[in-house]
Amino acid sequence: MINKLRILTFLLPAVIFQYAARAQEQWTPLFNGKDINDWIVKIHHHETGDNFGNTFRVQDSTIQVRYDQYGNFNEQFGHLYYKAPFSYYHLKFEYRFTGEWVKTAPSYTILNSGVMYHSQDPRTMPKEQDWPISIEMQLLAGLGDGQPRPTGNMCSPGTHIVYEGKLDTRHCINSSSKTYDKDEWIQAELIVLGDSLITHIINGDTVLRYSKPQIGGPVVNRYDPKQKQDGKLLNSGFIALQSEGQPIDFRNIRIMNLEWLFRKEGIEL
């Protein structure tokens, strides 16, 4: 793994240069701008596939996350999963926080959402499992209090990562991004190289890098024990958009599969 990580670090600039030259023809939309038929809903307290309260909906070529049919939030944390898993890829999307936070949701969810990756299959989650075993690119907006609140952070429900060369068991690690306001469209990117390097990019700036995503640690509850093999490196998984009490919009969600490039370089994936 160490040798593989070093090779990937060395080759990454060259690989990015190669795929940038072919970017226009290689990007694949994950969201068609019309519906979420290619996506799977899983909301806490509900069976997989139940889009309770029409939480995830489409309007104006945007996936909207809304709670107007909820009443009490009741920890109904949700995720919208793309139908297929990925391993080596470059994900791009735009997001903006909007609307009013649900006051019965936990206070930490104010202007807080995220995109999960290397997630377990939602069809392996029991009805009462609250969070998927996954890594999260956490999305935040400023609270209007003048305090910094970076976005593009890393959070780890049921997982750990290696940060600055050491296994880091903190649930969240802040990025170096600026603070962005509510109602502002933000461009986010996630470059995932299997179980090796992970890069977070916000509005064109690299804001966080880490490696070796792996299963381990708390936060997830009432999961199927067969799904939580602590210490297992995560080489692939599902991508999911989060709902946890704050309205948010997502658009222009697209992906470039990078596996062919690394095979071209002779790297065993």
pLDDT of residue 266 exceeding 90, the answer is no
Work out the number of other CB atoms within 10 angstroms of the CB of residue 119.
29
Work out the number of other CB atoms within 10 angstroms of the CB of residue 260.
11
Confidence of residue 2 (pLDDT cuts 50, 70, 90): very low
Rounded CA-CA distance 32/113 in Å is 22
What number is the average pLDDT over the span 216-228?
A: 96
Residue 33 lies in a domain: yes
Residue 100 is predicted with a pLDDT of: 97
What's the chain's Rg over C-alpha atoms?
18
Residue 265 lies in a domain: no
3-state secondary structure (DSSP) of residue 4: helix
Confidence of residue 260 (pLDDT cuts 50, 70, 90): confident
Residue 15 lies in a domain: yes
Residue 266 lies in a domain: no
**Cβ–Cβ under 8 Å, residues 256 and 24:** no
How many domains is the chain partitioned into structurally?
1
Return the higher-pLDDT residue of 194 and 266: 194
Residue 235 lies in a domain: yes
Share of the chain above pLDDT 90, in %: 86
Residue 131 lies in a domain: yes
Residue 269 lies in a domain: no
3-state secondary structure (DSSP) of residue 107: helix
Average pLDDT over the chain, rounded to an integer: 92
pLDDT digits (tens, 9 = 90+) for 78-88: 999 999 999 99
- The CATH number covering residue 231 comes to 2.60.120.560
pLDDT digits (tens, 9 = 90+) for 163-208: 999 999 999 999 999 999 999 999 999 999 999 999 999 999 999 9
Residue 12 is predicted with a pLDDT of: 58
What number is the average pLDDT over the span 21-35?
A: 82
* Residue-wise DSSP of 200-265: EEETTEEEEEEEEEEE--SS--S--GGG--TT-B---BEEEEEESSS-EEEEEEEEEE-HHHHHHT
pLDDT digits (tens, 9 = 90+) for 127-154: 999 999 999 999 999 999 999 999 999 9
**Cβ–Cβ under 8 Å, residues 103 and 70:** no
Residue 109 lies in a domain: yes
Return the higher-pLDDT residue of 3 and 76: 76
Cα 13-117-213 angle, rounded to 5 deg: 70
For 44, the domain range is 2-260
- The encoded tokens of residue 29 equal 């939309």
